[in-house]
């Protein structure tokens, strides 16, 4: 799912449930921001995730890529 928000195009939207394979914790994406390394560069997205234990953490989109620790739970998009 790709959602357009302003000029950002993020593959993960607020409300999507995620799972951390390394700790077996579940969480929910609560916000995101885009970061640019160069004016012509594609944005790097950073996501705020609220974990099931109540903690909030910031993670980069690299964590969702193949081989990363995070995945979107099926049926949450």
pLDDT, position 10: 63
**Ordered mean pLDDT values, 10 residues apiece, the chain (77 residues):** 47 85 90 85 88 93 76 67
Structural domain count, the chain: 1
Q: What is the CATH number of the domain that holds 48?
A: 2.30.30
Looking at residue 77, its pLDDT comes to 52
pLDDT for 14: 87
Q: Is residue 76 part of a domain?
A: no
Write out the residue range of the structural domain in which residue 63 sits. 3-70
Give the span between the Cα atoms of 37 and 62, in whole angstroms.
15
**What pLDDT, on the 0 to 100 scale, is given for residue 66?**
67
Q: Say if 75 falls within a structural domain.
A: no
The model carries a pTM of: 0.71
33 domain-assigned: yes
Mark residue 75 as left, alpha or beta (left: phi above 0; alpha: psi -120 to 50; beta: remaining).
left
């Amino acid at each position: 799912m790709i959602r357009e928000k302003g000029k950002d195009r993020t593959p993960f939207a607020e409300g999507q449930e995620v799972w951390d394979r390394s700790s077996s914790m579940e969480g929910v994406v609560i916000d995101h921001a885009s970061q640019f390394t160069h004016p012509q560069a594609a944005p790097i997205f950073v996501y705020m995730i609220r974990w099931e234990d109540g903690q909030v953490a910031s993670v980069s989109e690299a964590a969702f890529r193949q081989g990363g620790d995070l995945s979107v739970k099926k049926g949450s998009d």
